[in-house]
Amino acid sequence: MIGPPARTLGIIPGSPDFAPLYERTIPQKDQLCGAFWGSLILSATGHAASQEEVALRAGSTLAEGDPVDWLPPGASPRVDYEATIPVAPDGSSAGTSAKGVAQSIEELSGGAWTVVPVAGPWNAEAVVTLVEVACAQAPECALIANLRTGHLWGSRPPARLLLDYLLGRPVEAPPPDWDCGHFLTIAACVGSPGGALVILRDTYPQLGWDGYHLQPSAAVARALERATDTRAGCSAPYRHLGPRPSPDGSGRRVSGCDTGTTAPPTEEVRIVLDLGRIGFFLLGGANQQGARERYLRGY
């Protein structure tokens, strides 16, 4: 054998009903990507809630205009709303804040779920470490990423390109399918000596393979950082089993689907892992094993 074998970094299965419900629910309703995930997480864990209920609780507003402006290629508009979602007075104030999505999940679950912001700065190692630790310590959680899609690869690259990437060979990144602020979830991560691919679960079946697509961890990090825009982040909903944390969080609204941060930037990635105590933990450093050993201490 030449070189070390490829290794799977981990899968985040979520609750047993999460993936089947996801397959039955996609695509999202127009401009409700954050509410889509809130509804899915709640419904899969015994707290049935529609996208509209989550959107109204989160303070979502819709932008006026041509649906083509906020849909990926091949997707059709879906405006079968079950309730009236307010229309924003101008495009710059439309959308859903990450803070609103978090609050709606907590409130509609009756306090059974706690949403913990996970802030950057983001790089490829931080993304991989986050997925690894979530898989090992809280496989029932859902990692909701709020990112800019224009920094991702196109969602259907040739298999040869993905294999070359995993082997560490030079590859040319396929152009992104679309460019907007978006909520999706992280399903898994697979790695090899050449790099790591993060498996994203999207809100449109036209993207990737029935909504699932593979992205280099560095591309996911750039999308979370939003490069020339602002820092974004992940949210990790956990079933509430102990004292509720009170993390500082901030959210902002920008145009269309372009939603804001889940938490102020910090020097390390933060995530709740000890479900019995619900406390913050720090992850950091290029050495992933060292990061786990060093920072898996609650405070």
Give buried/exposed letters for 67-76 (b at 16+ CB in 10 A, else e).
eeebbbeebe
Tell me what the pLDDT averaged over the chain comes to.
77
Domain segments of the chain as ranges: 7-266
Q: What is the pLDDT of residues 68-91, one digit of tens each?
A: 778 999 999 999 999 999 999 887
What pLDDT does residue 233 have? 55
Please report where in the chains the tokens 């152009």 appear, as a residue.
Answer: 175
Q: Judge whether residue 6 has pLDDT over 90.
A: no
Q: Model-level pTM greater than 0.85?
A: no
Could you tell me where the beta strands, DSSP code E, fall in the chain? 7-11, 113-118, 143-148, 181-192, 195-201, 212-216, 233-239, 269-272, 280-283
Pull the structure tokens for residue 30: 């127009």
CATH of domain 7-266: 3.90.70.30
Q: What is the pLDDT of residues 244-273, one digit of tens each?
A: 333 333 332 222 333 332 332 333 333 333
DSSP letters for 101-155:
HHHHHHHHTTTSEEEEEE-----HHHHHHHHHHHHHH-TT--EEEEEEGGGSPPS
Q: What is the pLDDT of residues 178-227, one digit of tens each?
A: 999 999 999 999 988 889 999 999 999 999 999 999 999 999 999 998 73
Rounded mean pLDDT of 274-294?
30
- How far apart, in Å, are the Cα atoms of 252 and each of 95, 127, 181, 299? 9, 23, 12, 28
Q: Judge whether residue 102 has pLDDT over 70.
A: yes
